[in-house]
Structure 1
Amino acid sequence: MARCADVVVPGVVRWVESAAGPLIAVPEAVLPFWAGADGDETSSDYDRACEVPGHAGLLPVGDTLALVLGDEPAATAYLPEHGLFVRRYAAGSEVRLLAEVPAVLDDALWEPALEWRVPGPLVLFDAARPGRAATGTDHVRVELAPGRYGVSAAYVPRGPWAGLRLVRVGPSAA
Structure 2
Amino acid sequence: MIAVPESELDGWAGVDDNDGSVETWGDYGRACAVEGYIGLVAVGAQQALVLGDEPVMTTYLTNERLFVRWAAAYSETELVAAARRALAGRPDDDDDEDLIWQVQEAAVLFDSAVPGAELDPDERFTIDLEPGRYRVRSTHVVDEDHRMILVHLQPEP
Cα separation, 1, equivalents of 2:120 and 2:105: 16
1:17-166 to structure 2, matched below 5 A, reads 23-38=1-16, 42-105=24-87, 106-107=89-90, 109-159=94-144, 162-166=146-150
- Partners in 2 of 1:40 and 1:59 — Cα distance? 21
User: Paired residues, what number?
Assistant: 150
Which consecutive unaligned segments of at least 5 residues does structure 2 have? none
Structure-2 separation of matches of 1:114 and 1:48: 18
RMSD, matched Cα: 1.8
Displacement, 1:66?
0.2
Partner-residue secondary structure (3-state), 1:99: helix
Letter of the aligned partner of 2:105 in structure 1? G
* Distance change in 2, residues 1:38/1:112 (3 Å): closer
Change (3 A) 1:43 1:101: closer
Tell whether 2:132 aligns with 1:172. no
Deviations 1:62-102 (A, max 9, x none): 00100000001110001011110000102111111112222
For the residues of structure 2 that align with 1:135 and 1:119, how far apart are their CA atoms?
23
Whole-Å Cα distance in 1 between the matches of residues 109 and 116 of structure 2?
10
Secondary structure in structure 1 of the residue aligned to 2:29: helix
TM-score, scaled relative to structure 2: 0.88
One-letter amino acid of the counterpart of residue 14, structure 2: G
Give the gaps of 5 or more residues in structure 1: 1-22
1:113 is paired with a residue whose SS is strand
Q: Which runs of 4+ in 1 moved over 6 A?
A: none
With over 3 angstroms needed to count, the CA separation of the structure-2 counterparts of 1:118 and 1:40, relative to structure 1, is farther
Taking the aligned partners of 2:6 and 2:120, their CA distance within structure 1 comes to 10
When the two structures are superposed, what TM-score results if normalisation uses the length of structure 1? 0.79
Q: Structure 1 112/54 Cα, relative in aligned 2: closer, same or farther at 3 Å?
A: closer
